[in-house]
A and B are shown apart, each in its own frame.
Chain A
Amino acid sequence: MSPSTDSFEEIESAVVRFAGDSGDGMQTVGERFTDSSAFAGNDIATLPDFPAEIRAPAGTLAGVSGFQLQFGSRKILTPGDEPDALVAMNPAALKANIDDLPEGGMLVVNVDSFKKMNLSKAGYEKSPLEDEDFRKKYHLIELDLTSLTKEALKDSPLKPSDKARCKNFFALGFMYYVYGRPLEPTLKFFNEKWGERLPDLADANSTALRAGFNLGDTMETARNRYQVSKAPVQAGVYRKIAGNEALVYGLVAGAKQANRELLYAGYPITPASPILEGLSALKKFGVKTLQAEDEIAAMGMAIGASFAGDLSVVATSGPGMCLKSEFIGLASITELPVVIVDVQRGGPSTGLPTKTEQSDLLQSLYARHGDCPLPVLAAHSPSDCFDCAIEASRIALTYMTPVILLSDLYVANGAEPWKIPNVSELPEIKIKFADPNQELVVYKRDPQTLARTQAIPGQAGLEHRIGGLEKSEDGGVSYDPENHEKMTYLRAEKINCIAKSYEPISVQGEKSGKLLVIGWGGTYGAISSATKILQDEGFSVSSLHLRHLNPLPNDLESLLSSFEKVIVPELNLGQLSTILKAKYLCDIVSCNKVQGKPFKVAELREEFVKHLSAN
């Protein structure tokens, strides 16, 4: 079924948000809309937003789950500041999201759920749909979703309650009509997911989806239809990828490129659990996954496996990072490679477990005992997680050090199209173990990298001991004061060496000018979109996004001094700006937000303009 193309209004991009109860299947619907848009050739960025409670009482504000995506015929870097269209499955979903919908925005509501009880659960005394001002403010489309779905499924053998649950796909079908989306990818999905096991369910969902689409065709209120053409992208094979998924693949690729076995140890924690789950499904790739008793244990297991010669990885979030810190110190002093992934969330403590925040930069840089600098890098988008995982593996193995790779909830759960790399073109990581035919000096260093050569258990003649006590070059325990100072410097120098292996910083815009915006991690999309808008408007503004946060790139300092002003937007109270100020003794403006939400392009633009106009 291919939608007709007449009566379409061509638009460059659109933002759609689905909101409902956590049991309403809003994430699934959002995912499907994303796939369909990818199939239509648009560029996309998505943002799921779910509550901390798995199933908070139905109909309450606490239970509202949402999914927003932006798709367009141009480069899309963020899921959009505010929705152009909001689908609200119940009063609570309406209440929790309506403030974000601009005047005139399309509002699709399931009126079947606007009953007294649901209204009062959402804290409405009377239905907002009865308020004339409200009705006029939006382009309101009221659908009896529950009854329409049941009617469409009257011939289905499903139980009535199961039929009602298909209403999310009815709503999806309707939105497909509005935005002229193809149905094929979703029908294929139903078939693959349920076709064999639950064919009645596959049929019912397909019917609901089609019925929703057809309803659009016959409904006068749906007169506006939009067309979003293909985005101009490089030729190649593409797929949609989420951040955690890309990270999993990057780790597998890193191990393969290094010719090491991959061992992952983890303890479940939002938003890092999908990494544990994702790797656990890859036994075909020889990946060993251990679900540890806690994050301390996961780190210990990784260190043990690293000692035995595996590429070992842990992933966690802020609270788990706190637990790992003693062990991270051990990995540093014994100079063992471990990739430590921190998918950041709002902190401190349990904080905002399902909301994003750039919470752990300072923790990653400093939360250890003694002078213990470590390489820290951050992924800036879902697909960048793939490259960063390989880069973190390279650094860990080349420099014999634990590496901290920062992701965040926004990057981890977000998704975007990804040009699938050709495996044969991935960088190789060539690191050799110690040769049993040569005498082993445990902490003898490579003159280039200052890394020691690792000798793994099982090889005759290389027996040696390592441990957390300070040691001299031969590995023997040493309490000698000068030796400790020498070793402390050497370990720090080794980390500094890493910067020599970086690619030059890539700047968006001119390499000098009025305002330089510096970002790191998941704020990339918002920062570069805002910068681009201002550049198009003729402002002298450039931006750069740091992948390597320690050691910082050697070419950063000269860039800092080539601009009149430097601004660092962060989703924290200014962690990177503190570092930059301390390291380069320069003036930095910080721009901060800690609401558990990403930056909006508009708010960054406004902030940048302020500094561009001020003299």
Chain B
Amino acid sequence: MSTTTEESTLTKKDFVTTNDVRWCPGCGDYAILNAVQRTLPELGVPKEKFVVVSGIGCSSRFPYYMNTYGFHTIHGRAPTVATGVKVANPDLSVWMITGDGDGLSIGANHLLHLLRRNLDINVLLFNNRIYGLTKGQYSPTSEVGKKTKSTPAGSVDYPVNPLLFALGSEATFIARTTDTDQKHMVETFKAAQAHKGTSFVEVFQNCVIFNNKTFDSVTGRDVRNDQVMLLEEGKPLVYGDGGTKGIRLKGLNLETVDLDEGSNTEDLLVHNPKDPNPAYATLLAQMTFPTYPTPLGILRQLEGRETYEDSVVGQIQLAQAEGEGSLQELLTGNNSWIVES
């Protein structure tokens, strides 16, 4: 039991718990769980090093279904607990699961600070644009005018764009994927793990009960070829069946172009997630249907910023370079006096 499980021998089965999974039949969360359980065995990390931390929401039930160390915390605050775990033991592979309400409403402040501090944690934000667990109120990612039980006349607040939020927080890794694409999810999660620093992944997730088909206009089987643009590093921005359309810069804006046979692809933008200038990633993050195709993949990946935990540990190592402090000396200080008997 105590032997370290070798990475090569790990399979998806090792990460499945005996607990009954309690999401609604057809919920997108099942697909994400499956993708994560398929990803972890392939990362070369021993199973006992994984810790899954979540907040509260349907999505946040996730740790109960993962046969790893797990912590289902309180609403919105998972980033803080994940931070504590990672700083206490930087050797662990920490995965944080949150929802659009959990991560961008009650816990947005913590998420901001996690991202800017750049702990080496993988954050998966399940965006179903609704409060699932509390039975269907609109969320901060719901579109304006969303009619729900709490907004019978339509919601009036302007939504937050998770990718722009992450960009504003200067996250070093920002990606988007969708519950409808197993392969893309696994690839994205692997890239998130490979990145040293906080990896923020927005996952489009369908809530069959309270917000069914909210992403169908984008990722639906029949439309996705035309309305999704897969980002690949070093490749031009093209989409449409067989790459019939492309994206180029016009002034400070993006413009879609039809790529007729033999047309020039040279002025198309070439995807560079490593561009330190956030302008390009911002343009991508703002691309919304129906004006533009919806980008999926890694928008941004900056290397070189030290992680928070490394800095914390580094300062301690530096201070201890010439040995650890002596508690007796600390207590004695340099202003003590002796009282003789």
A297 with B325: CB separation less than 8 A? no
User: Do B63 and A465 have beta carbons less than 8 Å apart?
Assistant: yes
A263 touches B87 (CB 8 A): yes
- A293 adjacent to B109 (CB under 8 Å): yes
Chain A contacts of B56 at CB under 8 A?
468
CB contact between B80 and one of A234, A249, A292, A464 (< 8 Å): that residue? A292
Cα distance A567–B286 in the bound complex, in angstroms: 68
Assess A239 versus B336: contact at CB under 8 Å? Given A330-B74, A457-B85, A469-B72.
Answer: yes
Q: Tell me if A300 and B77 are in contact (CB < 8 A).
A: yes
A600 in contact (CB, < 8 A): no
Interface code A230-274, partner B: CB below 8 Å = 1, 0 otherwise?
A: 000111111110000000010011001000010101000000000
Q: How far is the CB of A232 from chain B (nearest CB, A)?
A: 9
- Asked if A282 CB lies within 8 Å of chain B CBs, one says yes
> From B112, which residue of chain A is reached at the shortest CB distance?
A293
Whether the Cβ atoms of A286 and B74 lie closer than 8 Å is no
The stretch of A137-145, A171-179, A302-310 that contacts the partner chain: A302-310
Check A285–B324 contact: CB distance below 8 A: yes
A459-B84 in contact (CB<8A):
no
Contact indicator B316/A288 (Cβ below 8 Å)? yes
B80 and A299: CB pair below 8 A? yes
Roughly how many angstroms separate A334 CA and B85 CA in the complex, as a whole number?
A: 15
Asked if B85 and A304 sit within 8 Å, CB to CB, the answer is yes
List the A residue with the shortest CB-CB distance to B318.
A283
How far, in angstroms, from A256 to B330 measured CA to CA in the complex?
A: 13
In chain A, what residue has the closest Cβ to B320? Answer: A284
Q: Which of A41, A297, A422, A459 sits near B110, CB closer than 8 Å?
A: A297
Let me know if B258 is at the binding interface, CB within 8 A: no
Among A185, A284, A303, A459, find the residue whose CB has the most chain B CB atoms closer than 10 A.
A284
**Chain B contacts of A103 at CB under 8 A?**
none
Total number of A residues with any Cβ neighbor in B under 8 Å: 75
Partner of B84 from the list A39, A308, A420, A439 (CB cut-off 8 Å) is A308
Which residue of the partner chain, among A233, A282, A307, contacts B81 with CB atoms under 8 Å? A307
Query: Are A307 and B84 within 8 A (Cβ)?
Result: yes
Q: How far is the CA of A514 from the CA of B1 in the complex (A)?
A: 65
Q: Mark B58-82, 1 if CB is under 8 A from A, else 0.
A: 0000011011111111100111111
Tell me the bound Cα distance from A39 to B336 in angstroms: 9
Interface size classification for chain B: 35 or more
Taking a contact as CB atoms under 8 Å apart, the answer to whether B327 and A285 are in contact is yes
A435 nearest in chain B by CB position: B2
Interface: A348 (CB within 8 A): no
Q: Give which listed residue, B47, B110, B335, contacts A460 with CB less than 8 A.
A: B47
Interface residues of B in 250-264 (CB under 8 A from A): none
A30-42 vs B, Cβ < 8 Å mask (1 yes, 0 no): 0000010011010
- The complex places the Cα of A567 from the Cα of B124 at a distance, in Å, of 57
A589 at the interface (CB under 8 A from B): no
Measured CB to CB, the nearest residue on chain B to A39 is B337
> Inside 8 A of B2's CB, which chain A residues have their CB?
436-437, 459-461
Contact of B81 with A460 in the complex, beta carbons under 8 Å: no
A464: contacting residue among B53, B69, B85, B327, CB under 8 A: B69
B335 touches A239 (CB 8 A): yes
- Picked from A39, A239, A307, the residue with its CB within 8 Å of the CB of B71 is A307
Q: Are A239 and B53 in contact (CB under 8 A)?
A: no
- Tell me, yes or no, whether B315 is within 8 Å of chain A by CB: yes
Main secondary structure of the interface of A (DSSP, over half): mixed
The docked-state distance in angstroms from the alpha carbon of A388 to that of B334 is 24
A509 CB-CB contact with B under 8 Å: no
- Find chain B residues with CB under 8 A from A303 CB: 73, 80-81, 84
The verdict on A238 contacting B338 (CB below 8 Å), with A285-B324, A293-B110 known, is yes
CB pair A300 B85 closer than 8 Å: no
Complex Cα–Cα for A30 and B19 (A): 64
A437, B3: Cα distance in complex, Å: 9
Q: How far is the CA of A234 from the CA of B340 in the complex (A)?
A: 8
In the bound assembly, the distance between CA atoms of A41 and B339 in angstroms comes to 8
Q: Do B73 and A300 touch across chains, with their CB atoms under 8 A apart?
A: yes
Give chain A nearest CB distance to B60 CB in angstroms: 9
Q: How far is the CB of B37 from chain A (nearest CB, A)?
A: 14
**Contact across chains for B81 and A300 when beta carbons are under 8 A apart:** yes
State whether B110 touches A461 (Cβ < 8 A): no
Distance in angstroms between the alpha carbons of A459 and B3 in the assembled complex: 9
A370 touches B (CB below 8 Å): no
Contact indicator B87/A290 (Cβ below 8 Å) = yes
Interface status of A462 (Cβ within 8 A of chain B): yes
* A326 in complex: contacting residue of B46, B74, B316, CB < 8 Å: B74
Given the complex, which residues of A lie within 8 Å of B332, measured CB to CB?
A: 237, 239, 420
User: In the bound complex, how far is the Cα of B341 from the Cα of A240, in angstroms?
Assistant: 19
Note all chain B residues with C-beta closer than 8 A to A283: 315-316, 318-320
Given contacts A302-B84, A465-B72, A468-B72, contact A297 B320 (CB under 8 A): no
Report Cα–Cα, A376/B65, bound state, in Å. Answer: 36
Interface status of B4 (Cβ within 8 A of chain A): yes
Q: Determine if A300 and B69 form an interchain contact, defined as CB atoms under 8 angstroms apart.
A: no
Q: Chain A's nearest CB lies how many Å from the CB of B109?
A: 6
CB-based contact B331/A300 at 8 Å:
no
**Are the C-beta atoms of B327 and A309 separated by less than 8 Å?**
no
Given A288-B88, A303-B81, A312-B84, is A467 in contact with B330 using a C-beta cutoff of 8 Å? no
A-B CB contact pairs (8 Å), 9 listed:
A238-B336, A265-B84, A288-B316, A304-B84, A308-B85, A436-B1, A467-B64, A467-B72, A476-B19
Given pairs A461-B48, A465-B72, 11 additional interface contacts (CB within 8 A): A39-B337, A239-B336, A239-B337, A249-B331, A304-B81, A308-B92, A457-B48, A461-B2, A465-B71, A467-B64, A467-B73
